[in-house]
Structure 1
Amino acid sequence: MWEFLAVCPPGLEDFVAQELQALGLSGKKIEGGVVFQGLWREMLLAHLWLRVASRILLRLARFRAETFGELKRQAAKIPWEIWIPENFRVRFRVTSYRSRLYHEGAIRERLEEVVSRKRGRSIREGEEELAVVVRVVKDVCTISLDPSGDLFRRGYKIGQGLTALRENLAAALVLASGWEREAPLLDPFCGTGTIPAEAAMLAAGRAPGLLRRFPFEAWPHFPRELWEALKEKARAREKPPPAQPLIFAADASEDMVSATRKNLEALGLSAWVKVFQCELKTLAPPKGGPGYLVTDPPYGRRVRLRNPEGLYRTLGEILRQRFSGWRLTLIFPSHRKRALEKLTGLTFRTLLVTEHGGLRCAFLKGL
């Protein structure tokens, strides 16, 4: 059996464990991910269906190394010729913490030398790229292959914008909201439509990895027939859209509204979402409520706001006056929770704390 680590942002391990369990795979939660075992079928299922994981790592070796000589001897035991085909170049990502081998660049150089020698040519040559993740902690070196790349990318985004909520964080936010699929869901700051798109995929039963091409697909021993069969089974599970959309995406920017429409069309789920331009002060609840407001509001880091205090005061007023009974879940810098409560006049409960765009952020539920 191979050992995998489904990596995720901190605080989201429970979601990944639940997704693996739904696939019939048992996992062990650790900080920053969930460890699970399997072979090709389990690996492919995880790549096809995991929404909240950032990437999936395949462990190649774990050993103790206090010297560069020991590092090279142990690394040479790995069958690199099996895991890295001829048409691949290799990129090492190295981190070292509290270890005698503390120089990450020197670790990378030694490993590049070992792999190049075993393959008989430079690891920097090749049409495809494969990442190898090396983590040295307290003199214990773990070497893993990254066959997934950025798993959080769904492969549909053609409409771009300044806001950049990662897809796996958006999926986790929707899941954390407790959204019941028969109730409406509204994102009043939709940006490029990441949250509505993830909600649509959940409602439709869309496998998030269905549109992706992964690095492992170029391996000569890749079981293509099994992969196509799993994808065909996933397609057959998708649900048709409802007669009237229950997911709503709004933004004050016409450019963002246009980007959202393009992305939903590329995803093939535009029938699930009603997209419209709307200034916050004119926002009104859609029919079918009360429902769920799930959003990643602007907070002045990625998008410069002229009057952030006014925006959040307006948001609080509108939610109190027009959205009685609606359930609010948002992501926001955790250190600014009290300021958010003061400006909006709302009370929030912290569901979890994670990282977003280099910031420590919290999933907050309105009370």
Structure 2
Amino acid sequence: MREASLELFAVSPPGLEKLVAQELKGLGLSGEIEIGGVRFQGGLRELYLSNLWLRTANRVLLRVARFRALSFPELIRKTERYPWETYIPEGYGVKLRVTSYRSKLYHERAIKERVLTALGNRLGRALTQAAEKEILIVVRFVKDLCTISIDTSGGDLFRRGYKVGKGLATIRENLAASLILSSGWIPCAPLFDPFCGTGTIPIEAALIAANRAPGLLRSFPFEDWPNFDSGLWEEIKAEARSCENPPPEEPFIFAGDASDKALSATRKNLQASGLEPWVETFQIKLEELSPPSPGSGHIITDPPYGKRLKSRNLVVFYRTLGKIFRDRFSGWRLVLIFPEARSREFSRLTGLRFRQILTTEHGGLRCAFLASL
């Protein structure tokens, strides 16, 4: 099974497809950028490798079936042809996600019902959409061409497994990694997040600096597949562990926040990730901000805005941030994620000049990655 050619698709946050493609290239995998992700080929090794190592992707889909269907009986008949027993283990339920665009079969609920029937016919058992373990199946109709894919990641890849400390309005791990990777930061240079929340940005920076595979702390549904190659999987994980960098003598990644509760969550998450030696944490208010180490570096942060400021005055907050950065952080670069619609207002309030690196979505908002000039 190792040599079998599979069509794989790394699903990307909107606007970040190039980052995902760069990551795949770093793994020795060439891909073709499409809207919403990157398509690439491989066998089980490439499937395992991409799930283990991709920092910026949402998930990795395996495209199992592709055919034209103009009627519901045809949809059932053609769906039944494929080896779903390889990808839906005994005891697993399924979750179906269906879209249809300019196709004769346009009723998405009816498509879902027929695909579920076909899967049950092939597997010889009734399938539930509410099981303790479930596989996401993505069905996409475009101009009568049906593509059916299996989620090999078992949910979002941004769920690394270290988030034991909780908090409000936290940035997703893959967006934090994307912000860092697009910032120009070089590991070993100082990185400071003064509004760290639950510590996502500092922890993702530490993962990058340590060259640690982000998927090492979690499990994947392919581990239950009948064709799972446990020897290959252990070999790939051992290779990943062997190329990790040792912790630094002194931390060069810094996590600060004004909130005791946020810092407590950050420390719990650092402990769960095993990355405590890489990150120094401390309580600090906006007015007290200063470089945590000599020389230049990067402030990379998801600053508070909207409801997260609560009673604080947004205008005063960002004017103060801009003044502090100009007065105290000479030689530093400020990189952040902010609602795109308000990025000009933010720039005006801080008195700083920014360039827009990338745009994406965060918490349902269209957001921009901004870097100071």
Name the counterpart of 2:16.
12
Distance 1:171 1:358 in 2: 18
Question: 1:172 — aligned with what?
Answer: 178
Partner of 2:135: 130
Any idea what SS the aligned residue of 1:177 has? coil
Equivalent in the alignment of 1:69: 73
Q: Which amino acid aligns with 1:360?
A: R
The corresponding residue for 2:157 is: 151
Selected match of 2:262 from 256, 266, 274: 256
For residues 101-151 of structure 1, what are the alpha-carbon distances to aligned partners after superposition, in whole Å with 9 as ceiling and x for unaligned?
222111111111111122222111865311111112222211000010211
- Say which SS state the counterpart of residue 108 (structure 1) adopts: helix
Question: CA 1:180–1:305 in structure 2 vs 1: closer, same or farther (change >3 Å)?
Answer: farther
In the alignment, is residue 142 of structure 1 matched against residue 147 of structure 2? yes
For 1:244 and 1:82, how far apart are their aligned partners in 2? 48
Unaligned runs of 5+ in 2: none
Instruction: Name which of 84, 94, 99 aligns with 1:95.
Output: 99
Determine the structure 2 residue equivalent to 1:105. 109
Between stretches 195-204 and 17-26, larger displacement belongs to 17-26
Aligned residues: 367
Q: Cα distance, 1:304 vs. partner?
A: 3.6
Q: Counterpart in 2 of 1:285? A: 291
Give distance in 1, aligned partners of 2:49 and 2:319: 45
Note closer, same or farther for the CA distance 1:307–1:53 as it changes in structure 2 (3 Å cut). Answer: same
Aligned CA RMSD, in angstroms, stands at 1.4
Whether the aligned pair in 1 keeps the contact of 2:80 and 2:121 (CA below 8 Å) is no
Number of the residue aligned with 2:88: 84
**Hey, what's the Cα distance between the residues in 1 that align with 2:366 and 2:306?**
15
Amino acid of the structure 1 residue aligned with 2:35: E
Matches within 5 A, 1:263-342: 263-301=269-307, 304-342=310-348
State yes or no: 1:226 paired with 2:232. Answer: yes
Cα offsets for 1:43-102 (capped at 9, x unmatched): 111111111110000001112223222222221211222222222111111122232222
**Deviation by residue 1:236-291 (Cα, 9 ceiling, x = unmatched):** 11111111110001111110011001101100001100011111111111123210
Give the structure 2 partner of residue 183 of structure 1: 189
SS at match of 2:182: helix
Cα distance in 2 for residues equivalent to 1:180 and 1:314: 28
Q: Distance in 1 between matches of 2:70 and 2:80?
A: 16
Does the 8 Å contact 1:183/1:289 carry over to 2?
no
Instruction: Name the aligned partner's letter for residue 243 of structure 2.
Output: R
* Partner Cα distance (1:120, 1:24) in 2: 39
The letter for the 2-side match of 1:109 is: E
* TM-score, scaled to structure 1: 0.97
- CA distance in 2: counterparts of 1:55 and 1:305, whole angstroms: 38
Overall identity of the aligned pairs, in %: 61
Where 1:260 maps in the other structure, the secondary structure is helix
- Once the 2 structures are TM-superposed, how far is the Cα of residue 303 of structure 1 from its aligned partner? 5.9
CA distance in structure 1 between the aligned counterparts of 2:94 and 2:76, rounded to whole angstroms: 17
Whether contact under 8 Å (1:86, 1:126) holds in the other structure is no
> Aligned pair in 2 of structure 1 residues 251, 136: CA closer, same or farther (>3 Å)?
same
TM-score (normalised: structure 2): 0.95
Inter-partner Cα distance in structure 2 for 1:244 and 1:83: 46
Letter aligned with residue 2 of structure 1: L
The alpha-carbon deviation at position 302 of structure 1 amounts to 5.5
